[in-house]
Every structure is written in structure tokens, then in C-alpha cells.
Structure 1
Amino acid sequence: MSQDKPLKGVVAVVTGASRGAGKGIALALGAEGATVYVTGRSQKEGDAPLPGTVQATADGVTKAGGKGIAVIVDHADDAQVKRLFEQVKKEQGRLDILVNNATVIHDTLIEKGGFWEKPLEQVDILDVGLRSGYVASWYAAPLMVAQKRGLIAFTSSFGASCYMHGPAYGAQKVGVDKFAKDMAVDLRKHEVAAVSIWMGMLKTDRTRRVMDADAAKYAGFWDMAENPEFTGHLISRIYRDPKRMEKSGQVIIGAELALEYGMKDIDGAQPPSHRPMLGGPTQAHPAVVE
């Protein structure tokens, strides 16, 4: 692999990549030369309240230096997920990186109030966000096991530690962290790693909209936020790490991993860890009960 394109020849799937974190991760992997299957439901502008489509992200991956392949997938539909991985196997014959990022974010997520005062649909994050990550991993794992190499990464947040946006959101984050811990046990002998990465506040259209609505409340937050591409470059670094399997099963704060690897954000900033304010992850106990 060439130094400027360290992921040349690598095949990745990034779920929920029409916009936001998924889009940034896909673009970062593409910039490093990967072939990236971009999934999501937005086929045209206007399909969602925020801008972004699956094809636009795929085009961005190609423009960045990789190969973007758009696949319309509703991750609430297992049959569509199955077809996605059948397509990857048929076209590429391999899969190296899966990023489980698809998540239902309800428009009322950050509104104040008890969970019973908010729409019941907020719990859908346990379908697309938690269950969907298991299903995608279930279909991806055989491809990685067959080649004795791979990385499954979950995008998570400090909401797994502190109260953040209510119980449904928190349960989803704790859930994907546990997926990474337990999948790592099953995958270890096959040299396939699984990790969960806590991202900080992200510089996305959604974040910008929230901050613009209450500029005084969020003053200074944008400056400490991470670019969505930041997590993508961290995932690349984990995948390429000769000691990758030592990371398997861990719940990782992205900002702290960047310090370990000597990495900065794409704008040259060093994103801060929010551990002192929001708490840190609990790692898995070494006991294995089968």
C-alpha cells in the first residue's frame, strides 16, 4: 500500500452515511484510498430534514481519492441488509472494515422533559442504532472470518456513561459498547477486531442547526467540536495498527486515541477528551462464561 493511500485495496461499509458522522467517516476512508459502500435511506435532497444523500457521499468518497459505492438501505429491514452484504461479497469478494453508524435520531431528542413526555418513537433508536448494528455485524462477520482479518467499529458517545438525551439514547450507546466487547470475544481467534468509539460533539449540519437556534447557550462549543472525518481517520489507524487485536473489545474515547497515535483533526486541532466532565467507559471484565 502506498504511503499516501494506506487503505488502497481495502473494502469498507459505512452505514448511515448520507450525512453527519457516517458521511465524514466514509469521506476519510475514501481519502485514504478505500473502496467504501455508503448506505442510507436518502435518495434525493428533501428525503430528510437535513441535507445529504447516499449518492452525494459516495461521489465525495470517489472525489477524495477512494471509490464510493452508494447503496440505498433501510437498516430496519433485515432483507435489505442481507442484500447489501451479498452485493459486497459478489463485487469485492472481501470486506475489511464495517462501521456501524446508522442511527435513528428523532427531532425531539434534545428537548427537555421526561422520557414519557416525549414521542414514543424515540425508542426506535433501539431498532436502527442498536439492533441494526448487530444485524450488519452478523452478515459482515463471515466475510472477515474467512479472510482472518477485519475490523468492526461502532460509533458511540459519552451518553453511555452520563445522562444524555434520555434513557433510550443512553441504552443504545451502552448497547453498542457491549456489542463491541462481546463480539471481540467471539472474533478474537479469527483475528477480527471489534471496537466502540466515543465521539465528541461533531461539526455537522445537525449540530449547526441546534447551535444557531440558541447561540448563547452553545457559545464556544463549535470550537471544541470534532470534524466528522476525525473518527474515520482513527478507524483507519486502528485497522492498520499491527497491534490492532490488543484494541479489540475496548470502548475507546476517540480524542484520547488520537493522542496515543499522535494524530490531530483535519483542521489541525487536538480535540479534547470530555472524560473529566462526562465520565469514561467501563471496559469488559476478563471473565468469559460460555
Structure 2
Amino acid sequence: MGLGGDMQAIALVTGGSRGVGRGIALALLEEGAIVHVTARTLTEADALTHPQGSGSLESLAEEASSLPGRLIIHRCDHADDKQTVEVVAKIEEVHGGIDLLVNNAWPGYEHMVEGTTFTWPKPFWEQPMWRWNAMIDVGLRSAFVTSRAVAPAMIAKRKGLIVNISFWAAELFEGNAIYGVAKAGANKLAADCAHDLMPYGVSAVALYPGLVRTEAVLRAAEFMDLSNSESPRFVGRVIAGLWRDGSLLKKSGRPHVVAALAREYGILDIDGQSPRPLAQDDFQNRD
């Protein structure tokens, strides 16, 4: 059965060679969707020069080969608006439009350590400017550029969903000032896009994953409490649930916690667990 019942949805997941984006793509493929995935890293040889050291479009294709959906990969650097628009145009030329867009491209977690210094928690006046460029000029900007590109076809069909991957940093201090600005921007972009799209039956939301067991998180597992963590596919399963939601427009324009939606929809993680939804208090009450 395809995503959304008897419909085979056309999805685009940006930044899906590793981490949350990869998990989302695999979960949508589990549902039988046609999933287009973009990333800069095409091969595992390319991945060796990436700060994460692993994760590529080709390895994603290998992992996805047994799933019922169809995967199409696109090498794309979302720092270049032209490349972004060209990918959308290619997809629309073949399929006539995109039903589901997940804005996940995010180079903001790269180069966390510069030399011997862990710069992530530094005060704003000590933050490296590359982090602004990565989170705002690429992460947030590419979400706008991609949404702008897919919207006309969604409007013509009077159906569609745009998802911005966000986090609680949009609403409270978490990590550093640049991170907060980027995630607040992702929320506001979803809200204002939803306002413009509402008359056409198209939805836009922001999603807050919990602690996701990405490759980077698992490498640091000995220093972290993963008892309430989520698999990367969990986010994708919830996005599939959103697509199936007959009342989706009522959720449009707002941020939603992935684990809370999972409980509403009766969705479990790949290990059969139901992660506890995080709330502001989980961050504000930490030492």
C-alpha cells in the first residue's frame, strides 16, 4: 500500500545521505512512496572527506533496495540555489509535481570541533561565522528556495505537505544563538508558508524530533543517555502519519513534537517503543 492509502506519493527529502534525512527517506520508502533524495555526498569514497566520515547517497540506495518504495538520488549542493531549483524541475518534469517535501538539508552540525576547541556552546561573540553561513545561508535559505520551487505544482493540485525539520531551540535557549535563530526561522517559515498555502489546501508544518540516534550521536553514545531516544526512521514514520491525517490542514502552520504526534497516530519506533515527547521543561530544568 502506498503512502496515503491507495496513492503513491511523490516525496522529496533534502539532505538525506545520513542522519535524520536518511531515516525519513527509508521510512517513506517503507510506505511505498516514490522518494527523491538530495545530498552532496554521492559515494562512500566522497564520505571519507566529509566531517561525519560516512553516509552517502549510494549507500542509502543499497540500504533501500529491499523496501517497497522507489528511491531516486540526486547529487545536489543546496548552497547553490540553481542546483536546488534544477532538482525540483527534474522531478516535476517526470512526475508532474511533488506531494511531500521534507526540508532537512543541514550542514550546521559539521566542524563542531575546530582545532581542539568545541565551539558549539560558545557565546554568540565567540561563534565562528561559518556556522551562521551553514545554518542560515544554507539550511534556512534552502528550505525557502525548495519550498518556493515546489509550491506552484502543489497549489495546482490543491494538495501537498511541506515539512521543516526544526527543534525546541526555536523557542528557548539550546546550544547557541545561531542555532536558535535558524530553528526559529524554520518555524516562522512554516507558519507563513502555511498562511499563504491554506486557501489551496496545502499544508506546512515544523517538526521537533527528540534525541535521534544518528551516526554522530551513536559515536558519542557513551556520553549520552539514549533511554528515550528515537531512531532516524521514527521521524519519517510520523511524517507518513501526517500525510495520512484527514485533518492535516488543522495542524498546518504550527510546530509539532514528533513523539507527541506518534502517540496521537498510534505509531511506534522501529524497536516497538513509544518515546516520551519532550517539552520545554526537559530543557529548562537541566543544569
Q: 1:202-225 CA distances to partner (integer Å, 9 max, x unpaired)?
A: 1011111233xxx3x42xx22211
Partner of 2:115: none
Percentage of matched positions with identical amino acids:
36
Partner of 2:100: 97
Contact 1:30 1:62 in 2 (8 A): no
C-alpha root-mean-square deviation of aligned residues, in Å?
A: 1.8
Aligned partner (choices 104, 119, 123) of residue 114 of structure 1 = 123
Equivalent position amino acid for 2:24 in 1:
I
Q: Does 1:150 align with 2:152?
A: no
Partner of 1:189: 199
Cα 1:94–1:58 shift into 2, 3 Å:
farther
Cα 1:116–1:4 shift into 2, 3 Å:
closer
Distance between the aligned counterparts of 1:198 and 1:168, measured in 2? 17
The Cα of 1:273 is off from its aligned counterpart by 1.6
Contact 1:195 1:252 in 2 (8 A): yes
Task: Using the TM superposition, name which of 102-111 and 255-264 deviates more.
Answer: 102-111
Counting only pairs closer than 5 Å after superposition, residues 124-139 of structure 1 correspond to structure 2 as: 124=133, 125-139=135-149
Aligned structure 1 segments of 4 or more residues deviating by more than 6 angstroms: none
Gaps of 5+ in 1: 280-290
Cα 1:94–1:41 shift into 2, 3 Å:
same
Equivalent position amino acid for 1:63 in 2:
S
Equivalent position amino acid for 2:93 in 1:
K
- Match of 1:195, SS state, is strand
Partner of 1:75: 78
Distance between the aligned counterparts of 2:98 and 2:2, measured in 1? 21
Distance between the aligned counterparts of 1:3 and 1:23, measured in 2? 19
Q: Does 1:177 align with 2:181?
A: no
Partner of 1:49: 51
- Match of 1:223, SS state, is coil
Distance between the aligned counterparts of 2:211 and 2:119, measured in 1? 13
Cα 1:142–1:5 shift into 2, 3 Å:
closer
Q: 1:38-59 CA distances to partner (integer Å, 9 max, x unpaired)?
A: 1010022214132111232234
Contact 2:51 2:111 in 1 (8 A): no
Distance between the aligned counterparts of 1:250 and 1:196, measured in 2? 6
Cα 1:177–1:187 shift into 2, 3 Å:
same
The Cα of 1:30 is off from its aligned counterpart by 0.4
Distance between the aligned counterparts of 2:209 and 2:164, measured in 1? 10
The Cα of 1:163 is off from its aligned counterpart by 1.6
Partner of 2:33: 34
Contact 1:200 1:225 in 2 (8 A): yes
Distance between the aligned counterparts of 1:4 and 1:181, measured in 2? 25
Equivalent position amino acid for 2:11 in 1:
A
Partner of 1:286: none
Cα 1:152–1:62 shift into 2, 3 Å:
farther
The Cα of 1:261 is off from its aligned counterpart by 1.2
Distance between the aligned counterparts of 1:3 and 1:75, measured in 2? 29
Q: Does 1:277 align with 2:286?
A: no
Q: 1:100-131 CA distances to partner (integer Å, 9 max, x unpaired)?
A: 00011232276443233342211121012111
Partner of 1:160: 170
Distance between the aligned counterparts of 1:113 and 1:78, measured in 2? 30
Contact 1:7 1:29 in 2 (8 A): no
Contact 1:99 1:152 in 2 (8 A): yes
Distance between the aligned counterparts of 1:4 and 1:193, measured in 2? 16
Equivalent position amino acid for 2:167 in 1:
S
Contact 2:2 2:31 in 1 (8 A): no
Aligned residue pairs, count: 272
Equivalent position amino acid for 1:167 in 2:
A
Distance between the aligned counterparts of 2:185 and 2:162, measured in 1? 15
The TM-score, its normalising length taken from structure 2, stands at: 0.90
Partner of 1:14: 13
The TM-score, its normalising length taken from structure 1, stands at: 0.89
Contact 1:20 1:228 in 2 (8 A): yes
Contact 1:110 1:165 in 2 (8 A): no
